[in-house]
A and B are shown apart, each in its own frame.
Chain A
Amino acid sequence: MSNQPVLNRNADIIQLENAQKVYQMGRQQVKALAGVTISFKRGSFWAIMGPSGSGKSTMMNILGCLDHLTAGRYILEGQDVSTVDDDSLSELRLRHLGFIFQSFNLIPQLTVQRNIELPLYYLGWDAARSAGRAMELALQVGLEDRLKHRPTELSGGQMQRVAIARALANDPQILFADEPTGNLDTATGEQILELLTALNSQGRTIIMVTHEPNIAAYAKQRLHMLDGLIDKIDGDGGEAE
């Protein structure tokens, strides 16, 4: 996309510095992130792992610009986004990020095409241009004959591919996948993971949250979280303290 800043290809796409996230649960304070410092390189494929309550979902929400940090810094594409307002976070998600969810999160009343076109609608593209882009993406995920269908008429794997097509519509640099195979059978899940691997090999940064080691194995690096902190990192390219 033309309006994206030109950056040094080797720079870290994501940097977290002493990232903290505290939730108020009644009278108790829960530290979902207890001070995480890590940086992700452009074009990397990360799996964030950990048991439930380890902070991996919070990590994903923070990295996905869906939530603010309580303390610390988050630098996305060289821009400090720790304290930007809600509208700016929306803008960042719209222009730079793509999301894939465990439960697909397609809008049931919209056709496949409309679902794929959704980010383009908010980007202000006109109908003809959006339709062209939707077709192009549908071809890429092999659903070109399903554009006029509703999500409910599709299988789980097809729905996830629609979700991937939608996540790619704005040509994001970073793709977030939250348990992308959680609702799929093994064979279909593998297809989705292969699709993600292919997207990574095209140069897109992928951050995947999962608790299954065999799924995480598709990633090039694995970040293990425990109690809001980094437990360990395996694979290569990550720098953590």
Chain B
Amino acid sequence: MKQNRFVRNILMGVENLLLHKLRSFLTMLGVVFGVGSVVAMLSVGEGASKEALEQIRKLGSNNIIISSIKSVEEESMSTTPAHMSVYGLTYQDHIRTAETFNTIRQTVPVKLMRKEGRLGTRALELRVVGTTSAWFDLVKRPVIAGRVLLSSDEKKQASVVILTEFGARKLLATQNTIGQFLRMGGDYFEIIGIVKSESGQAGNIQIPDQQVDAYIPINVARTYFGDVVTRITAGSREREMVELHQIIVQVDTQENVEPTAKGIEEMLKRFHKKKDYIVSVPLALLKQAEETKRIFNVVLGSIAGISLLVGGIGIMNIMLASVTERTREIGIRRAIGAKRKQIIIQFLIETVVLSTIGGLIGIGLGVLMPVLITYFAGMPTVITPGSIVLPLAISLGVGIVFGLYPAIRAAKVDPIVALRHE
């Protein structure tokens, strides 16, 4: 019975709105565009931040990345001829880090070099990554062919290399790659595996995996290529000695990430005279990126919210006019026995129906717009359930808030005066 009454109230509201189709439609437009822009804005914001967040996630939320950097002092010295810059993380740092903290699950030393790789007649500038088998635990990539590094490769000092799919394609085209020998810096390495490549940048941390990577055991890298890198440019010769370029640390739980990072920082400070390392925490970056995204959403949302507000005011304006226009009707209904509450409900339902239908149309528009934005502007957009439910709830709220005042005005109409109203 109650349910039936409610449904009939809504039907009556719809019926009344249909009497003035054009007016109802125009009234609705404000909410349509308001909700549409909220949905579109949220999806653009979501899309923009999603990529950044994904990149950071790739670094691993449990990981700490310690990288070597040239200290400011070294930077100024390096212009002196015949000077060799010695800086960065050492093998000793790696061992110390691994042995000092019990919150660390595993550590991966990384040594980076630029070498030309040659296979037959093809050549490609590779980023040679000297690392251990643990790398493939921390930076999980699907294996396309062969296998990844094993700890036995390190023990045997095996000259083996793992290529990425991209690098392998460039070098080998369609040939069967596994078991062939790749020449790097005068030495030959057996290709034992190919992994899927991914690339990207997250903030100031490079994704520890690039398209042109070639992975070799770290001790092999050290014995074959040494720690000194000589770079000859026009008119000068730069020599650098860096033992390790990165140490990737995996911590056991997320709560321990930041304390461990602080501990590592403290420890390294004791052994390094100059600040020639940087400790980055992807988790912190992730939190920062999420905060940025939140602010972004709030800003975009409030801009769109203003258009919703304008839409709501439009509805209120029309409803107030409608109340005046229908004063006589209100008087008749009151004389027949309608209570004030019932008049309020009648007018409120009309506004809510109007704003909700407007909201639904707006959501349709708001879902369509990001698709067009992605298609034409190439911007990534993501529509989450939240970015649909929230505007719908808001449009319902707009209907209630902006409908309440006109409805109360309607209910306050004195039936005696209203019946005489022309």
Which residues of A approach B to under 8 Å, CB–CB? 61, 64, 66-67, 86-87, 90-95, 97, 99, 101, 105-107, 109, 118-119, 121-124, 126-127, 166, 170
Complex-state Cα separation, A63 to B25, whole angstroms: 43
Taking a contact as CB atoms under 8 Å apart, the answer to whether A107 and B329 are in contact is: yes
Question: Can you spell out 11 A-B residue pairs with CB atoms less than 8 angstroms apart?
Answer: A61-B416, A90-B338, A90-B340, A91-B337, A93-B337, A105-B328, A106-B332, A119-B336, A122-B336, A123-B337, A124-B5
Nearest residue, chain A, Cβ from B332? A105
Which one, B8, B331, B334, B341, contacts A121 given CB within 8 A? B8
A121 contact set on B, CB distance < 8 A? 8
* Smallest CB separation, B62 vs chain A (Å): 63
- A87–chain B nearest beta-carbon distance, Å: 5
A52 to B331, CA, bound (A): 22
CB neighbours (8 Å) of B333 from chain A are 107, 118, 122
Taking the nearest CB of chain A, how far is it from the CB of B210, in angstroms? Answer: 71
Q: Is the pair B337, A122 in contact by a Cβ cutoff of 8 Å?
A: yes
Contact check, A95 vs B328: say whether CB atoms are below 8 A apart: no
Contacts of A101 in B (CB 8 A): 419
Q: For the complex, is B324 an interface residue (Cβ under 8 Å from A)?
A: no
Given contacts A107-B329, A127-B8, contact A95 B416 (CB under 8 A): no
Given contacts A66-B415, A121-B8, A99 and B335 within 8 Å (CB-CB): yes
CA–CA, A94 and B339, complex, Å: 9
Residues on B with C-beta less than 8 A from A126 are 1, 4
Asked whether, in the complex, the Cβ of A122 is within 8 Å of the Cβ of B335, the reply is no
Q: How far is the CB of B95 from chain A (nearest CB, A)?
A: 84
Instruction: Give residues of chain B (306-356) contacting chain A, Cβ–Cβ below 8 Å.
Output: 328-329, 331-342
Shortest CB distance B7–A (Å): 10
User: Closest residue of chain B to A105, judged by CB?
Assistant: B332
**B72 contacts chain A at the CB level, 8 A cutoff:** no
Determine the chain B residues whose CB is within 8 A of the CB of A87 once the complex forms.
339-341
CB pair A122 B332 closer than 8 Å: no
A41 CB to nearest chain B CB (Å): 24
Apart from A87-B340, A107-B333, what are 16 other A-B pairs with CB-CB below 8 Å? A61-B416, A64-B335, A86-B339, A90-B337, A93-B336, A93-B337, A94-B338, A95-B337, A99-B335, A105-B328, A105-B419, A109-B19, A118-B333, A118-B336, A119-B336, A166-B336
Q: Contact size class for B?
A: 20 to 34
Assembled-state Cα–Cα distance A109/B326 (Å) = 11
Q: Is residue B206 contacting chain A, with contact meaning CB distance below 8 A?
A: no
Judge whether B337 and A170 touch: CB under 8 Å: yes
A183 to chain B, nearest CB (A): 13
Assuming A66-B415, A107-B329, A121-B8, is B334 touching A90 (CB within 8 A)? yes
Q: Is the CB of B340 within 8 A of A122?
A: no
User: Which residue of chain A lies nearest to B331 when distances are taken between CB atoms in the complex?
Assistant: A105
Q: Does B236 contact A (CB under 8 A)?
A: no
Q: Quick check: is B230 within 8 A (CB to CB) of the other chain?
A: no
Residue B256 interfacial (CB < 8 Å): no
CB-defined contacts of A127 to chain B, threshold 8 Å: 8
Closest to B338 in A: A122
The 10 nearest A-B residue pairs measured at CB: A94-B337, A93-B337, A90-B339, A105-B332, A109-B19, A119-B336, A87-B339, A107-B329, A90-B337, A122-B338
B374 adjacent to chain A (CB < 8 Å): no
**Which B residues are in CB contact (< 8 Å) with A119?**
336-337
Residue of A with least CB distance to B2: A124
Return chain B residues, CB-CB under 8 Å to A61: 416
B16 at the interface (CB under 8 A from A): yes
Residues from chain A with Cβ under 8 Å of B342 in the complex: 122
* Closest chain A residue, CB of each to CB of B333: A118
- A35 to B101 Cα, complex, angstroms: 98
Measured between alpha carbons, how far is A16 from B176 in the docked complex, in Å? 110
What residue of chain B has the Cβ atom nearest to residue A108's Cβ?
B329
Task: Report the nearest B residue to A93, measured CB to CB.
Answer: B337
**A106 vs B4: C-alpha distance when bound (angstroms):** 25
